[in-house]
Amino acid sequence: MIKLTRLVLDVLKPHQPNSYAFATRLAEVKPGLVVNLMVVEMDEHTHTIQLEIVGSDIPLDEIEDAINELGGSLHSIDEVQVENTTDDSSVGDA
């Protein structure tokens, strides 16, 4: 099974909710997620942020839904790390 273990996202978010509330809501999507948020650029109405999300099996669809619910917009997925957790040692053993 392939599991998503790290994401780096480019996101546009409104000033409110603030960065702490935004990151906290994303971390609440699934226990064990670690969310790092960095403001890259700020203008009158929005922040461009970079999100790094790390976990054992990140639910990308739920992360995207949470970003949209918070008034944000996912611009791009800049980095992805996946892990193959298939145990091939049992294949062929009978």
Domains of the chain in sequence order: 2-84 (3.30.70.1340)
Q: So what's the pLDDT on residue 43?
A: 95
Q: What is the pTM of this model?
A: 0.88
d(CA 63, CA 76): 13
- Of the ranges 1-5, 37-41, 62-66, 88-92, which one carries the lowest mean pLDDT score? 88-92
d(CA 54, CA 29): 12
List the structure tokens of 87: 């145990």
Judged against a pLDDT cut of 60, whether residue 93 lies above it is answered with no
Give residue-wise pLDDT tens across range 21-69: 999 999 999 999 999 999 999 999 999 999 999 999 999 999 999 999 9
